[in-house]
Amino acid sequence: MNSIDDINFEDKKAIIRVDFNVPLNENFEVTDKSRIEGAKPSIVKVLEDGGSAILMSHLGRPNGVEDKFSLKHIVNTVSEEIGVKVKFVEDSVGEAVQKAAEELQNGEVLLLENLRFHPEEKAGDETFAKQLADLADVYVNDAFGTAHRAHASTTVVAKFAKEKAMGYLLKKEIDSLDKVLNSKEKPVTAIIGGAKVSSKITVIENILDAIDHLIIGGGMAFTFIKAKGGKIGESLVEDDKQDVALKIMKMAEQKNVKVHLPIDSKTTKEFKNDSETKIQPIDNIEEGWMGLDAGPKSQLAFAEVIKTSKIILWNGPLGVFEMPNFAEGTIAAGNAIAEATANGAFSLVGGGDSVSAVKQNGFEDKVSYVSTGGGAMLEMLEGKTLPGVAALDD
């Protein structure tokens, strides 16, 4: 599989699938530029080689053509970030686009309009994909966040490309996951949190062969505690997943993976930040009370495991971190991961909420890698082949 470093782009046009699905405020200003920053190295490589770049992306979930989802709103931000004035064309295929692509000079960048304004994009339409491929000499996929989708611009376009390659961001994501799943270094610890066991079953089952420690936190921990016969009060639980929780613990035991569940919980009677709280044993929570965060004993126990780890995967918060009073468990885990990383461990954080927690609490530069693709990362952790990556291999 070609990496972008295997190609010299001198006098060549590259069409790059980027992930510019960025958040905008009510004035259509970009509120988080990390995805644009992530794509920058691949774009710069093409320009520095002496080529030109055509960028294509989706934004949001438009229903037909909707102005609020137009990529014209982000042109200035992309220009500032790359350091080149980006040209924009108000469609992604058609005569105007062909003309703009043909006129593009070396060192220039052209941004196409939102791909999802065309239903053919999500449908994986071959004619649409070929029109995109025909705009350039090389197809580069650098959009890990959409690599699990078999869309025209992420997968089908590779069929028609004269040359194709993986961009820096996509390669970094895959290498980071590979480091976790195929590590020779031990111990490997996975911290899996979030609300529901159901959304993480296949991830946990697939990573058990690669890990030594499994820390389970967040709302999903209560399903495990209840399955083991604990009293969890009014805490969140998936009653129909208790057998799955027991099965996971049995599988872990057979594979010599140590499962760490919370010991205590910060509980409250109402789901709000300033409600009365008390610390209770996780398996003996009074009726009328619910656990919303990992308690102090759990935080210490988890931190001990994390600090002795050589490889750490963190997916999902350990409490309702959006409320400051119930963010302590998540912050404590972040601090322990930061300390382990400073001491030489490799740490990978991914999945929407974990990424928000990391950014919100300033851990971004204290971990080894923050994944940009929630769904794609989960699918790789589940052992699935991503169509966007497989297409570069054909």
Catalytic, 295? Answer no
d(CA 16, CA 347): 28
Q: Is 58 annotated as a binding residue?
A: yes
Which residue in the list 159, 352, 359, 366 is annotated as catalytic? 352
d(CA 296, CA 316): 19
- Interstrand relation of 231-232 and 264-268 (parallel, antiparallel or unpaired): unpaired
- The CB-based long-range contact list for 180-184 (8 Å cut-off, 24+ gap) reads 180/207, 180/210, 180/311, 180/313, 180/346, 180/348, 181/207, 181/210, 181/381, 182/210, 183/210, 183/310, 183/311, 183/346
Catalytic, 255? Answer no
Catalytic, 35? Answer yes
Distances in Å between the Cα of 352 and the Cα atoms of 193, 306, 334 are: 12, 21, 15
Distances in Å between the Cα of 128 and the Cα atoms of 65, 70, 134, 150 are: 16, 19, 10, 13
Q: Is 354 annotated as a binding residue?
A: yes
Per DSSP, the residues of 242-297 read HHHHHHHHHHHHHTTPEEE--SEEEEESSSSTTS-EEEEETTEEPTT-EEEEE-HH
Beta bridge partners of 190: 214, 313
Which residue in the list 196, 231, 310, 366 is annotated as catalytic? 196
Rg (CA), the chain: 23
Distances in Å between the Cα of 392 and the Cα atoms of 4, 156, 165, 306, 317 are: 11, 10, 6, 36, 33
Q: Is 17 annotated as a binding residue?
A: no
d(CA 166, CA 69): 27
d(CA 180, CA 383): 13
What's the first-to-final CA gap in the chain, in angstroms? 8
Which residue in the list 12, 35, 45, 171 is annotated as catalytic? 35
Catalytic, 247? Answer no
Q: Is 149 annotated as a binding residue?
A: yes
d(CA 185, CA 22): 35
Q: Is 61 annotated as a binding residue?
A: yes
Q: For the purposes of burial, counting CB atoms within 10 Å of the CB of 105, is it exposed (0-12), middle (13-18) or buried (19 or more)?
A: exposed
Per DSSP, the residues of 46-66 read HHHHT-EEEEE---S--SSS-
d(CA 329, CA 79): 40
Which residues line the annotated binding site for substrate? 19-21, 35, 58-61, 116, 149
Annotated binding site for ATP: 200, 291, 322, 351-354
- Binding-site annotation, residues for (2R)-3-phosphoglycerate: 35, 116, 149
The residues annotated as belonging to the active site are 35, 196, 352, 375
Residues comprising the binding site? 19-21, 35, 58-61, 116, 149, 200, 291, 322, 351-354
